[in-house]
Homo-oligomer: A and B are copies of this chain.
Amino acid sequence: MNLKQWEKITEWPLTVLSVLFIGVYAWQILAEPTGVWNWSAEFVMNVMWAVFALDYVVSIALAPQKWEWFKHHLFDLAVVVLPVIRPLRVLRIISALNALHKTSGMALRGKIVMYVASSLIILLFVGSLAVLDAERYAPGASVKTFGDALWWTFVTITTVGYGDYTPVTAMGRVIAYALMLAGIGLIGTVTATLASWIVDEVNDDEAKETKITREQVERLNTRLDIIERKLDRINGSRITSDDVANRR
Protein backbone atom coordinates (compact mmCIF):
# COMPACT_ATOMS: atom_id res chain seq x y z
CA MET A 1 0.00 0.00 0.00
CA ASN A 2 1.29 3.50 -0.77
CA LEU A 3 0.82 6.84 1.05
CA LYS A 4 -1.94 8.14 -1.29
CA GLN A 5 -4.06 5.05 -0.66
CA TRP A 6 -3.48 5.22 3.11
CA GLU A 7 -4.53 8.89 3.14
CA LYS A 8 -7.65 8.14 1.12
CA ILE A 9 -8.68 5.30 3.44
CA THR A 10 -7.96 7.12 6.72
CA GLU A 11 -9.25 10.58 5.81
CA TRP A 12 -12.89 10.26 6.82
CA PRO A 13 -12.35 7.99 9.85
CA LEU A 14 -9.76 10.46 11.21
CA THR A 15 -12.06 13.45 10.62
CA VAL A 16 -14.88 11.69 12.47
CA LEU A 17 -12.42 10.77 15.24
CA SER A 18 -11.32 14.43 15.55
CA VAL A 19 -14.92 15.57 15.97
CA LEU A 20 -15.55 12.80 18.53
CA PHE A 21 -12.35 13.82 20.34
CA ILE A 22 -13.62 17.40 20.65
CA GLY A 23 -16.99 16.07 21.76
CA VAL A 24 -15.45 14.07 24.63
CA TYR A 25 -13.15 17.01 25.46
CA ALA A 26 -16.10 19.44 25.56
CA TRP A 27 -18.12 17.02 27.70
CA GLN A 28 -15.21 16.61 30.13
CA ILE A 29 -14.84 20.37 30.53
CA LEU A 30 -18.50 21.38 30.56
CA ALA A 31 -19.95 18.50 32.60
CA GLU A 32 -16.87 18.12 34.82
CA PRO A 33 -17.43 14.38 35.35
CA THR A 34 -15.84 12.80 38.41
CA GLY A 35 -14.57 9.37 39.35
CA VAL A 36 -15.03 6.65 36.77
CA TRP A 37 -16.64 8.97 34.24
CA ASN A 38 -13.71 11.34 34.23
CA TRP A 39 -11.34 8.41 34.08
CA SER A 40 -13.26 6.99 31.10
CA ALA A 41 -13.14 10.31 29.25
CA GLU A 42 -9.38 10.51 29.84
CA PHE A 43 -8.96 6.92 28.67
CA VAL A 44 -11.03 7.42 25.50
CA MET A 45 -9.08 10.58 24.64
CA ASN A 46 -5.76 8.80 25.22
CA VAL A 47 -6.82 5.95 22.92
CA MET A 48 -7.87 8.45 20.25
CA TRP A 49 -4.61 10.31 20.64
CA ALA A 50 -2.74 7.01 20.17
CA VAL A 51 -4.66 6.47 16.91
CA PHE A 52 -3.60 9.91 15.66
CA ALA A 53 0.02 9.22 16.62
CA LEU A 54 -0.19 5.85 14.85
CA ASP A 55 -1.49 7.54 11.68
CA TYR A 56 1.50 9.92 11.77
CA VAL A 57 3.96 7.03 12.17
CA VAL A 58 2.35 4.92 9.40
CA SER A 59 2.24 7.96 7.06
CA ILE A 60 5.94 8.73 7.49
CA ALA A 61 6.77 5.03 7.06
CA LEU A 62 4.86 4.92 3.76
CA ALA A 63 6.30 8.21 2.45
CA PRO A 64 8.86 7.60 -0.32
CA GLN A 65 11.03 10.61 0.71
CA LYS A 66 10.78 10.59 4.48
CA TRP A 67 12.79 13.78 5.10
CA GLU A 68 10.73 15.77 2.53
CA TRP A 69 7.47 14.50 4.06
CA PHE A 70 8.71 15.38 7.56
CA LYS A 71 9.56 18.94 6.54
CA HIS A 72 6.18 19.50 4.85
CA HIS A 73 4.22 18.01 7.76
CA LEU A 74 5.72 19.84 10.75
CA PHE A 75 2.21 21.12 11.45
CA ASP A 76 0.88 17.54 11.64
CA LEU A 77 3.70 16.74 14.07
CA ALA A 78 2.66 19.69 16.25
CA VAL A 79 -0.96 18.52 16.17
CA VAL A 80 0.17 15.07 17.37
CA VAL A 81 2.69 16.18 19.99
CA LEU A 82 1.16 19.36 21.45
CA PRO A 83 -2.09 17.78 22.78
CA VAL A 84 0.04 16.26 25.53
CA ILE A 85 -0.43 19.73 27.06
CA ARG A 86 -4.05 19.49 28.10
CA PRO A 87 -5.67 22.71 26.80
CA LEU A 88 -3.87 22.28 23.47
CA ARG A 89 -5.85 19.12 22.84
CA VAL A 90 -8.31 21.31 21.00
CA LEU A 91 -5.78 21.53 18.19
CA ARG A 92 -7.09 18.12 17.08
CA ILE A 93 -10.09 19.88 15.59
CA ILE A 94 -7.81 21.32 12.93
CA SER A 95 -7.75 17.91 11.28
CA ALA A 96 -11.52 18.10 11.02
CA LEU A 97 -11.17 21.31 8.98
CA ASN A 98 -9.43 19.32 6.26
CA ALA A 99 -12.79 17.87 5.30
CA LEU A 100 -13.74 21.34 4.05
CA HIS A 101 -11.10 21.07 1.32
CA LYS A 102 -13.45 18.67 -0.45
CA THR A 103 -15.72 21.52 -1.59
CA SER A 104 -13.95 21.60 -4.91
CA GLY A 105 -16.92 22.59 -7.04
CA MET A 106 -17.29 26.09 -5.54
CA ALA A 107 -15.79 29.36 -6.75
CA LEU A 108 -12.80 30.65 -4.75
CA ARG A 109 -14.65 33.44 -2.96
CA GLY A 110 -17.51 31.11 -2.01
CA LYS A 111 -14.96 28.69 -0.56
CA ILE A 112 -13.28 31.47 1.44
CA VAL A 113 -16.60 32.65 2.90
CA MET A 114 -17.41 29.05 3.96
CA TYR A 115 -13.92 28.56 5.37
CA VAL A 116 -14.00 31.82 7.37
CA ALA A 117 -17.49 31.08 8.74
CA SER A 118 -16.69 27.52 9.82
CA SER A 119 -13.24 28.44 11.19
CA LEU A 120 -14.83 31.25 13.20
CA ILE A 121 -17.45 28.95 14.73
CA ILE A 122 -14.85 26.25 15.53
CA LEU A 123 -12.39 28.79 16.96
CA LEU A 124 -15.09 30.34 19.14
CA PHE A 125 -16.15 26.94 20.46
CA VAL A 126 -12.76 25.33 21.09
CA GLY A 127 -11.19 28.65 22.20
CA SER A 128 -13.90 29.00 24.82
CA LEU A 129 -13.42 25.41 26.01
CA ALA A 130 -9.65 25.81 26.23
CA VAL A 131 -9.71 29.12 28.11
CA LEU A 132 -12.38 27.81 30.50
CA ASP A 133 -10.23 24.73 31.18
CA ALA A 134 -7.12 26.88 31.76
CA GLU A 135 -8.66 29.67 33.84
CA ARG A 136 -11.67 28.29 35.74
CA TYR A 137 -10.01 27.43 39.05
CA ALA A 138 -7.05 29.86 38.88
CA PRO A 139 -6.88 32.35 41.78
CA GLY A 140 -8.12 35.78 40.68
CA ALA A 141 -9.61 34.44 37.43
CA SER A 142 -12.59 36.24 35.87
CA VAL A 143 -13.54 33.56 33.32
CA LYS A 144 -15.48 30.98 35.33
CA THR A 145 -18.43 29.83 33.17
CA PHE A 146 -18.73 28.74 29.53
CA GLY A 147 -20.85 31.86 28.87
CA ASP A 148 -18.04 34.10 30.12
CA ALA A 149 -15.48 32.09 28.15
CA LEU A 150 -17.48 32.45 24.90
CA TRP A 151 -17.97 36.17 25.54
CA TRP A 152 -14.24 36.68 26.15
CA THR A 153 -13.32 34.62 23.06
CA PHE A 154 -15.68 36.65 20.86
CA VAL A 155 -14.44 39.97 22.28
CA THR A 156 -10.83 38.88 21.67
CA ILE A 157 -11.17 37.44 18.16
CA THR A 158 -12.95 40.57 16.88
CA THR A 159 -10.16 42.71 18.49
CA VAL A 160 -12.80 44.65 20.45
CA GLY A 161 -11.11 43.86 23.76
CA TYR A 162 -13.37 45.33 26.45
CA GLY A 163 -11.15 44.02 29.22
CA ASP A 164 -14.09 43.06 31.50
CA TYR A 165 -12.75 39.49 31.36
CA THR A 166 -9.04 38.79 30.89
CA PRO A 167 -6.98 35.64 31.33
CA VAL A 168 -4.64 35.49 34.32
CA THR A 169 -2.83 32.16 33.76
CA ALA A 170 0.09 31.59 31.40
CA MET A 171 -1.94 29.01 29.43
CA GLY A 172 -4.89 31.40 29.19
CA ARG A 173 -2.57 34.03 27.72
CA VAL A 174 -1.12 31.59 25.20
CA ILE A 175 -4.69 30.84 24.04
CA ALA A 176 -5.33 34.60 23.87
CA TYR A 177 -2.23 35.11 21.69
CA ALA A 178 -3.52 32.52 19.23
CA LEU A 179 -7.02 34.06 19.20
CA MET A 180 -5.70 37.61 18.64
CA LEU A 181 -3.62 36.47 15.67
CA ALA A 182 -6.65 34.56 14.40
CA GLY A 183 -8.63 37.79 14.78
CA ILE A 184 -6.14 39.72 12.62
CA GLY A 185 -6.43 36.93 10.07
CA LEU A 186 -10.23 37.02 10.26
CA ILE A 187 -10.45 40.79 9.67
CA GLY A 188 -7.85 40.48 6.93
CA THR A 189 -9.65 37.69 5.11
CA VAL A 190 -13.08 39.36 5.31
CA THR A 191 -11.65 42.64 4.02
CA ALA A 192 -9.59 40.99 1.29
CA THR A 193 -12.55 38.95 0.01
CA LEU A 194 -14.73 42.06 -0.09
CA ALA A 195 -11.97 44.01 -1.84
CA SER A 196 -11.54 41.30 -4.44
CA TRP A 197 -15.29 41.29 -5.08
CA ILE A 198 -15.54 45.09 -5.42
CA VAL A 199 -12.46 45.32 -7.65
CA ASP A 200 -13.99 42.65 -9.89
CA GLU A 201 -17.41 44.26 -10.10
CA VAL A 202 -15.96 47.70 -10.87
CA ASN A 203 -13.50 46.35 -13.44
CA ASP A 204 -16.16 44.34 -15.24
CA ASP A 205 -17.70 47.28 -17.08
CA GLU A 206 -14.37 48.89 -17.83
CA ALA A 207 -12.88 45.61 -19.06
CA LYS A 208 -15.52 45.36 -21.77
CA GLU A 209 -14.08 48.49 -23.36
CA THR A 210 -10.33 48.21 -22.96
CA LYS A 211 -9.44 44.54 -22.94
CA ILE A 212 -9.39 42.84 -26.30
CA THR A 213 -10.50 39.25 -26.26
CA ARG A 214 -9.34 36.13 -28.08
CA GLU A 215 -12.46 36.49 -30.20
CA GLN A 216 -11.19 39.77 -31.59
CA VAL A 217 -7.80 38.24 -32.39
CA GLU A 218 -9.66 35.39 -34.10
CA ARG A 219 -11.35 37.96 -36.32
CA LEU A 220 -7.95 39.36 -37.32
CA ASN A 221 -6.85 35.82 -38.23
CA THR A 222 -9.96 35.33 -40.35
CA ARG A 223 -9.12 38.52 -42.24
CA LEU A 224 -5.62 37.25 -42.90
CA ASP A 225 -7.16 33.97 -44.07
CA ILE A 226 -9.12 35.83 -46.75
CA ILE A 227 -6.03 37.72 -47.91
CA GLU A 228 -4.06 34.49 -48.19
CA ARG A 229 -6.79 32.86 -50.28
CA LYS A 230 -6.76 35.86 -52.61
CA LEU A 231 -2.99 35.62 -52.98
CA ASP A 232 -3.30 31.87 -53.61
CA ARG A 233 -5.73 32.61 -56.42
CA ILE A 234 -3.02 34.85 -58.00
CA ASN A 235 -0.14 32.49 -57.30
CA GLY A 236 -1.93 29.23 -57.92
CA SER A 237 0.09 27.61 -55.08
CA ARG A 238 0.03 27.65 -51.29
CA ILE A 239 2.72 28.18 -48.63
CA THR A 240 1.50 26.86 -45.28
CA SER A 241 2.47 28.01 -41.81
CA ASP A 242 4.24 24.67 -41.35
CA ASP A 243 6.53 25.59 -44.23
CA VAL A 244 7.39 28.89 -42.58
CA ALA A 245 8.03 27.19 -39.25
CA ASN A 246 10.26 24.56 -40.94
CA ARG A 247 12.35 27.09 -42.83
CA ARG A 248 13.13 29.14 -39.73
Contacts and interface: CB of A to CB of B under 8 A. Distances in A.
Contact of A180 (B154, B201, B213): B154
Total copies of this chain within the assembly: 4
A36 interface: no
A38 interface: no
A229 B181 CA distance: 65
Contact of A108 (B176, B202, B227): B202
Interface of A: 107-109, 112, 147, 151, 154-156, 158-164, 166, 170, 173, 176-177, 180-181, 183-203, 207, 209-214, 216-217, 219-235, 237, 239-241, 243-245
Contacts of A219: 221
Please classify the interface of chain A as helix (H, G, I), strand (E, B), loop, or mixed, using the class held by over half of its residues: helix
Interface centre among A156, A191, A243 (most CB of B within 10 A): A191
A213 B206 CA distance: 11
B202 A222 contact: no
Given A223-B224, A229-B244, A244-B226, A108 B201 contact: yes
Contacts of A166: 162, 164
Contacts of A155: 161, 180
A191 B195 contact: yes
Contacts of A170: 147
B209 A210 contact: no
Contacts of A244: 222, 225-226, 229
